[in-house]
């Protein structure tokens, strides 16, 4: 019986010396071998996390999907966070499943920082088709443009909405509607 997934992080870690749980060590080794400048780290919830430059991103994502030993075929989620002056951060959560779901212990969170005044990053729709709707949502609510997306338009809000509401500096500019309170005819008051 497997242990709880978030207890995968070993106890007693010292700052600087990262020890990884043994089932994720091969992933770390492969990442370090091909991309030595990244520093993968374990997050408190049991996910391995890595920050990537957006220039590298399409090539890096293909590497994650196609390399033996990584094979991240399942994109669980694409989302973005607004860190104000630090810009936006697009967050991808990837899992390796396989047709027999026998390698699901391989999980990776990839984060891409994007400057606020140039909020663009390459789309991953050709790599994981599921990203289609997720990227549209991030574009709709956060305003990050995914280059190469086949159909980048709003998904949750109306087509003519102006602005990106999840941004921290979003101001609702819709004109206030007059509120009219009418007494019902024949009211008991």
Partner 1 sequence: MAKTSDVLGEQQLGVPAEQELFINMGPQHPSTHGVLRVLLKVDGEVVTDAKADIGYLHRCFEKIAERRTVTQVIPYTDRTDYLAAITSEWAFVMAAERLMDVEVPERAEYIRVIVGELQRIASHLIWFGTFALDLGATTVFLYAFREREKLLDIFQKLTGARMLYNYLRIGGARNDLYDGFADDVRRFLDDLEDRLHEYHTLFTGNRIFESRVKGIGVLSAEDAIKYGASGPVIRGSGVPYDVRKAHPYSVYHRFDFGIPIGKDGDVYSRYLVRMQEFYESIGIVRQALDQIPAGDFIGKVPRRMRLEGDAYARVESPRGEVGVYIVGRGEENAWRVHYRSPCFTHLQLLGPLGVGGLVADMVAVIGSIDIVMGEVDR
Residue (46 or 56) nearer to partner 1, CB: 46
d(CA 113, CA 176): 36
Window 121 to 180, contacts with partner 1 (CB under 8 A): 128-130, 132-134, 137, 141, 153-160, 165-166
> 46: left (phi > 0), else alpha (psi -120 to 50), else beta?
left
Q: Is 39 in the site for partner 1 (CB under 8 A)?
A: no
Q: Provide, rounded to whole angstroms, the least separation between the CB of residue 57 and partner 1.
A: 18
Size of the site for partner 1 (CB under 8 A): 48
d(CA 52, CA 92): 11
Q: Is 47 in the site for partner 1 (CB under 8 A)?
A: yes
Q: Is 71 in the site for partner 1 (CB under 8 A)?
A: no
- Burial annotation 29-45 (CB, 10 A radius, 16+ → b, else e): ebbeeebeebebebeee
Q: Is 3 in the site for partner 1 (CB under 8 A)?
A: yes
Q: Provide, rounded to whole angstroms, the least separation between the CB of residue 55 and partner 1.
A: 24
């Amino acid at each position: 019986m497997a242990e709880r997934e978030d207890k995968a992080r070993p106890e007693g870690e010292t700052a600087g010396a990262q020890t990884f749980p043994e089932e994720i060590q091969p992933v770390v080794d492969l990442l370090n071998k091909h991309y030595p400048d990244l520093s993968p780290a374990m997050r408190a919830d049991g996910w391995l996390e890595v920050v990537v430059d957006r220039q590298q991103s399409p090539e890096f994502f293909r590497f994650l999907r196609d390399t033996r030993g990584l094979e991240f075929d399942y994109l669980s989620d694409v989302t973005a966070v607004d860190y104000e002056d630090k810009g936006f951060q697009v967050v991808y959560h990837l899992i390796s499943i396989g047709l027999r779901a026998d390698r699901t212990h391989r999980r990776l969170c990839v984060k891409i920082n994007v400057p606020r005044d140039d909020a663009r990053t390459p789309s991953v729709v050709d790599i994981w088709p599921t990203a289609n709707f997720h990227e549209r949502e991030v574009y709709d609510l956060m305003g990050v443009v995914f280059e190469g997306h086949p159909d980048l338009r709003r998904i949750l809000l109306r087509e003519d909405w102006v602005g990106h509401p999840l941004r921290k500096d979003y101001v609702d500019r819709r004109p206030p509607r007059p509120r009219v309170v009418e007494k019902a005819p024949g009211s008991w008051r």
